[in-house]
Chain A
Amino acid sequence: MSKTAPVVTFGLYAMIVKQDSAPAATDIQPFAKISDLKTGNTTNKPTITLEPDFWLLDGNYKFRPSDALTHVGLMSMSMSNADGNFITPPVLTVTFSEAHTTDSLTLRFAQFSDDYSSSVRVQYFDAADTLIRMDSYNPIDWEFSTEQAVTGFKKIVITFYSTNKPYRYLRLLGIDYGRIVTFTGADIKSASVVEQVNPLSIELPVDTLELHLYSSDAAFSIIAPGGDYASLQNKQPMDVYETIGNDTVYIGQFYLDTWENPSDTEIVFKAIDMIGVLDTIPYLGGIWTTATTVGALVEAMLSAINVPYALDPALEAVAIKGWIPICSTREALQQIAFACGAFVTCSRSSLIQITKTILAADVSSYDSIITKAEKGMEQSLTLTALVTGVEVTAHNYLSNATSSELYNGTLTSGAHTITFSAPMHSLSISGATITASGANYAIVSVATTGTVLLTGQGYTDTLQVYGVYNTGLDANVKVNIPGIKDATLVNSSNVASITQQVYNYYQQRYLQRVKLYNPTAEAGKTALVDALYNRQIAGIVEKLELDLSGGFTAKAEINGVVVT
């Protein structure tokens, strides 16, 4: 049996340096975006190419999407030769608006395929464009830190001379100004991760990490967390891996939520994934009375806050209209996902993945097949409550000309944000000026303290309840009809298909709980499980409780249907 162990890394990065950076390269594929190195929006799935022995047929290598959706960081046009050397080495130049200081430079190459540059030169220039430091390195892994402090640089030039494998494009997916801290082996007393998805997005579950560390380092004192570890409080991401023999499985990226010290040497970190972080980021919402696409809506929402995501191409052009009130970005994303028939997860990825929902009954091939031999003794099969029907309320918004008073009061001089509980349009104001506005808010500027009167016209929300019912039941069957009323992006155009999908999902009544060893199943993926009575359940893995330190086991919940 392979030895397993968790590995947790986090970067002690100076985010302000990264935000000030302007990376540039000329030797770059036309579809690659050098700005990915600044935003961090890079895919963690490899893009299929025909470089020798690159496209591993494990199903994780993906075809490149449209240029707009391609985020591969710096991928060079040049390819290294049979010796792994570039004839003309690709160069990355990073300029800054002001001089900065860093204690290291971290380069992240292609983890998925273990491709990296094996010979790198880094040059630092000061404000006068004078070379102040030059070092050459020979990285031996996909993630590399120079561990070299440099002060007063305003430009960095990185030259990549070779790749670790022959005939490879250069792939640089990240650059950070700081160093990496790694916890492994004896550092970790226990580590567990809970991954969850809701296939219908009736809720948007947050994946969590609980990490118990042993450290006698004073910097880990909760009373005065200083030095390196102070940055963990600033939502620095922690990357979690599980090593299984010689393989490494990426579990996901988490952000510190709570920090607890039960004793002088034990530290408990509880962390959440990016969906959890989105819950802390407000979204001002909006109204779309004519259809827009899911792609445009998600792009506008997540790119504005520099959150990397991967949208299923099947969802890109799905039309959507309706209203999103002021809420958290997580709630807004849930509204969109529900309305377009998608689920959202961050598991096994550093991106928010928005994927088209597939129901178990429609699955013909499975991401994992769990045989009796792979299951532990702990298992149960539950028949969930019969749902006899589903009702979903559609919201159809029509602008009206009824003017109403939105704010009438005294405001001091300066800028103020006034928010609305219902969508408005055609705003007018006296006593101040409107500097920015949307369907749910107005930002007003008051020159001198005084009375401000804000009026606007609203929208009429015409409600339509659409139901799908099981009409073939006996009269004595208990009626159980859940309803969904607050999905404000559901309208007369999509309510029928959404209601049918919700109803179909609730007819998947078998919930298989099973303990797995070295699980290959992933949350949100399909699985075929040997169940009781020599039958098989086909379903979606909706929850995984991973024990990363106790031999890599998982308690899985798979919801689906009996297929054989």
Chain B
Amino acid sequence: MKYKAPIVDRSLADIAARTSKAFFNARDWQRVYDNAKITNALVAYLTSVAIQFDIIADPTVYSIPTATELNALLANIERIRVSAGFPAIDGLVEIKDDWTAGSAATAPDYLDANDWERVIDILISTIGSLTEYVIYCGVSAAGQPRFYQHRFRQYDWVPLAETPTRRARANVAVAGAGLTRNNGYRRY
């Protein structure tokens, strides 16, 4: 599954002209869901925080979605947004996930659909920089898994060790310490 380019620029002019962006079709629903799934996997990997990600049936042209189903889709996005713990970024808005049914209830419009896709897009395009500004609590310690101690590195990425041998070390790894020092606590 690949991340698909989102649509984030729907406008009132599209609605008036009934362009392809004016409608929310099964493929749009599927794209939002798939992109959310990919974003969730990446955020979960980088933060080690797993959120509840509800599985939603693949939509078809025959589908008559309910407010509950859309809310489940949007609640996934909202949980990813909260879980990522990003600072305030333009467009990274709270996603409404309590739509109700009925002709007197308010229903999503093109601005809402833009928000759904924009939030996912901001998350996935920014998540790579997560380690640049996330400050972790706690201390790293000898014998911890490598991925755990990576959290305390100040480097974007750590190259594979030249000599992946297990080396017993005394002392403790220190948050923000240098690559050489923390590499000493690898298990290989």
Query: Known contacts A50-B26, A57-B109: does B61 contact A63 (CB below 8 Å)?
Result: no
**In the complex the two chains form, what is the Cα distance from A311 to B103 in whole Å?**
8
- Whole-angstrom distance between the alpha carbons of A52 and B18 in the complex? 13
Chain B residues whose CB sits within 8 angstroms of the CB of A247 once the complex forms: 16
The answer to whether A58 touches B103 (Cβ under 8 A) is no
Pick the residue among A29, A51, A63, A351 that contacts B100 (CB under 8 A): A63
Whether A55 lies near B105 (C-beta < 8 A) is no
The answer to the question of B165 belonging to the interface, with a C-beta cut-off of 8 Å to chain A, is no
Question: Nearest Cβ distance between residue B95 and chain A, in whole angstroms?
Answer: 13
Q: Does A211 contact B (CB under 8 A)?
A: no
Assuming A57-B23, A58-B110, is B65 touching A50 (CB within 8 A)?
Answer: yes
The answer to whether B18 touches A63, judged by C-beta atoms less than 8 angstroms apart, is: no
> Within the complex, which residue of B61, B67, B103 is in contact with A351, where a contact is CB–CB below 8 Å?
B103
| B105 neighbours in A (Cβ, 8 Å) | 62-63, 312-314
Stretch at the interface among A40-48, A331-339, A420-428, A453-461: A40-48
Within A53-91, which residues are at the interface with B (CB < 8 Å)? 53-66, 69, 79
A144-B135 Cα distance, complex, nearest whole Å: 67
Does B10 make an interface contact (CB < 8 A)? yes
Interface hits, A14-42 → B, CB 8 Å: 29
Q: In the complex, how many angstroms separate the beta carbon of A38 from the nearest chain B beta carbon? A: 20
Known: A49-B63, A50-B63. A63 touches B104 (CB 8 A): no
The smallest C-beta distance from B12 to any residue of chain A, in angstroms, reads 9
Instruction: Give A45 to B103 CA distance when docked, in angstroms.
Output: 6
How far apart are the CA atoms of A48 and B71 in the complex, in Å?
Answer: 14
Residues from chain A with Cβ under 8 Å of B15 in the complex: 56-58
CB-CB under 8 A from A61, the residues of chain B are: 107
B107 x A62 contact (CB < 8 A): yes
Q: B82 near A: Cβ within 8 Å?
A: no
Query: In the bound complex, what is the Cα–Cα distance between A333 and B65 (angstroms)?
Result: 32
Taken together as a complex, chains A and B put the C-alpha atoms of A141 and B104 apart, in Å, by: 26
Residues in A neighbouring B144, C-beta threshold 8 A: none
B67 to nearest A CB, angstroms? 4
Indicate whether A57 sits within 8 Å of B108 (C-beta atoms), given known contacts A49-B63, A50-B26.
yes
**Which single residue of chain A is at the shortest CB-CB distance from B29?**
A50
Give A450 Cβ to nearest chain B Cβ, in Å. Answer: 53
Complex contacts, B102 vs chain A, CB 8 Å: 62-63, 65, 69, 310-313
- Is the CB of A354 closer than 8 A to any CB of chain B? yes
Instruction: Please tell me if the beta carbons of B20 and A44 are within 8 angstroms of each other in the complex.
Output: no
Q: How far is the CA of A354 from the CA of B104 in the complex (A)?
A: 7
B62 & A79 in contact (Cβ 8 Å cutoff): yes
- Chain B residue numbers with a CB within 8 Å of A59 are 106-109
Interface string of B9-26 (1 = CB under 8 A from A): 010000110101011111
Q: Is B170 an interface residue (CB 8 A)?
A: no
Once the chains are docked, how many angstroms separate the CA of A58 from the CA of B15?
7
Q: Which of A43, A58, A66 has the most CB of B within 10 A?
A: A58
Check B103–A44 contact: CB distance below 8 A.
yes
B86: interface (CB < 8 Å): no
Q: Is A192 an interface residue (CB 8 A)?
A: no
Say yes or no: A310 contacts B103, CB within 8 Å: yes
Instruction: Tell me which of A44, A50, A60 contacts B25 (CB under 8 A).
Output: A50
Determine whether the beta carbon of B104 is less than 8 Å from that of A312.
Answer: yes
Closest chain B residue to A60 by CB distance?
A: B107
**Given A56-B18, A57-B15, A57-B22, A310 and B107 touching (CB < 8 A)?**
no
Does A503 have its Cβ within 8 Å of any Cβ on chain B? no
CB-nearest residue of chain B relative to A29?
B64
Query: A interface, by DSSP: helix, strand, loop or mixed?
Result: loop
Interchain CB contact under 8 A, B25 and A63: no
Contacts A57-B109, A63-B70 known; A313 to B101 CB distance under 8 Å? yes
CA–CA, A51 and B102, complex, Å: 19
Provide the residues of chain A in CB contact with B29, threshold 8 Å.
Answer: 50
Contact mask B104-137 → A, CB, 8 Å, 1/0? 1111111011000000000000000000000000
A310 to B59, CA, bound (A): 28
The answer for the CA separation of A182 and B157 in the assembled complex, in Å, is 73
CA distance A374 to B66 in the complex (A): 36
CA distance A43 to B102 in the complex (A): 9
Shortest distance from the beta carbon of A36 to any chain B beta carbon, whole Å: 13
Verify B23–A53 contact, CB threshold 8 A: yes
Provide the residues of chain B in CB contact with A55, threshold 8 Å: 23-25
Cβ-based interface call for B48 (8 A): no
- Inter-subunit contact A50/B107 (CB<8 Å): no
Q: In this assembly, does B99 line the interface, its C-beta being within 8 Å of a C-beta of chain A?
A: yes
Question: Is there a chain B Cβ closer than 8 Å to A393's Cβ?
Answer: no
- In the complex, A388 has a CB within 8 A of chain B: no
The smallest C-beta distance from B126 to any residue of chain A, in angstroms, reads 25
Contacts of A66 in B (CB 8 A): 101
Q: Does A159 contact B (CB under 8 A)?
A: no
**Most chain A C-beta atoms within 10 Å of own C-beta, residue among B20, B24, B62, B102:** B102
| Contact of B64 with A49 in the complex, beta carbons under 8 Å | yes
* Residues of chain A with a CB closer than 8 A to B113's CB: 57
* Residues of A contacting B103 in the complex (Cβ-Cβ under 8 angstroms): 43-45, 62, 65, 310, 351, 353
Min distance, Cβ B16 to any Cβ of chain A, angstroms:
8
Give CA–CA (A461, B29) in the complex, Å. 55
CB distance from B5 to the nearest CB of A (A): 18
Q: Is the CB of B24 within 8 A of A167?
A: no
In whole angstroms, how far apart are the Cα atoms of A57 and B107 in the complex? 9
**Nearest residue in A to B15 (C-beta to C-beta)?**
A58
Among A56, A65, A69, point to the contact of B23 (Cβ < 8 A): A56
- CB of A295 to closest CB in B, whole Å: 11
Among B23, B59, B100: residue with most chain A CB under 10 A: B23
Q: How far is the CA of A312 from the CA of B61 in the complex (A)?
A: 28
Query: Residues of A contacting B99 with CB < 8 Å?
Result: 63
Q: How far is the CA of A351 from the CA of B104 in the complex (A)?
A: 10
Contacts A53-B25, A59-B106, A313-B105; A64 near B100 (Cβ below 8 A): no
Known contacts A43-B103, A55-B24, A64-B64; can you find 5 more A-B pairs with CB under 8 A?
A56-B22, A63-B105, A314-B100, A353-B103, A356-B104
Chain A residues with a Cβ under 8 A of chain B: 29, 43-45, 47-66, 69, 79, 167, 247, 310-314, 351, 353-356
6 nearest A-B pairs in the assembled complex, by CB-CB distance: A59-B109, A57-B110, A63-B101, A63-B67, A45-B103, A312-B104
7 CB contacts below 8 A, A to B, read: A44-B103, A48-B65, A49-B64, A50-B63, A57-B112, A247-B16, A313-B101
